[in-house]
């Protein structure tokens, strides 16, 4: 169930990013009340902390669905430093994405079940995902941690008891096959049993 929700949410994110890159979407040319599929720029203003906030309507209901935050730079184009997206158009932010000075993604948080709590956090280095934190049971605590090397999942760590301690490890090869697993049976957060 969680994988399906997050897959749908990620698909909606992709659609929203593509929609804003379509010709004419930043011109405010969309018609009112859902008569077109083009995104439209609603407002662009300076925030109290000096960023430029751009509000974009994706579904032509005259409410912002995407919030882009830019910083002006001298002698070059402005820099997108954060993007917030309301995926299901309920007026609440579901995805927040942060970018570094090179324009590469640094971190992304997602609310996969639309309850206004973060369920998934991806961490990036050099534009590549290096770690994911996931709340698999939607109880407000991250319990699955995935680690990536060169874009491939190489290790998973789980807190299967919900006590805040890792108690199951899974190591994978470059193709995603399980190489070995380990378990903590006495609750001290240290691997006691290894299966290879």
Q: Is 115 helix (H, G, I), strand (E, B) or coil?
A: coil
| pTM of the predicted model as reported, rounded to 2 decimal places | 0.78
DSSP notation for 56-101: EESSSSSS--EEEEEE--TTS--EEEEEEE-TTSSSS--EEEEE-T
Rounded Cα–Cα distance for residues 141 and 137 (Å): 8
Domain assignments of the chain as residue spans, ordered by start: 2-142
The pair of three-digit structure tokens given for residue 1, joined into one six-digit string: 């169930």
pLDDT in tens, 108-165: 999 999 999 999 999 999 999 999 999 999 999 999 999 999 999 999 999 999 999 9
């Amino acid at each position: 169930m969680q994988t399906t929700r997050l897959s749908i949410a990620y698909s909606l994110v992709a659609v929203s990013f593509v929609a804003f890159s379509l010709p004419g979407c930043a011109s405010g040319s969309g018609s009112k009340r859902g008569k077109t599929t083009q995104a439209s720029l609603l407002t662009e203003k300076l925030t109290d902390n000096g960023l430029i906030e751009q509000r974009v309507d994706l579904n032509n209901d005259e409410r912002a669905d995407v919030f882009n935050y830019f910083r002006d730079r001298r002698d070059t184009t402005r820099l997108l430093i954060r993007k917030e997206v309301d995926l299901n158009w309920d007026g609440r932010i579901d995805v927040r994405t942060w970018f570094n000075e090179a324009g590469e993604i640094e971190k992304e948080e997602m609310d996969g079940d639309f309850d206004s709590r973060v369920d998934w956090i991806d961490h990036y280095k050099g534009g590549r995902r290096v770690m994911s934190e996931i709340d698999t049971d939607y109880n407000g605590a991250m319990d699955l941690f995935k680690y990536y090397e060169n874009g491939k999942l190489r290790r998973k760590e789980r807190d299967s008891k919900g006590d805040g301690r890792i108690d199951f490890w899974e190591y994978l090869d470059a193709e995603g096959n399980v190489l070995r697993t380990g378990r903590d049976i006495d609750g001290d957060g240290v691997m006691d049993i290894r299966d290879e």
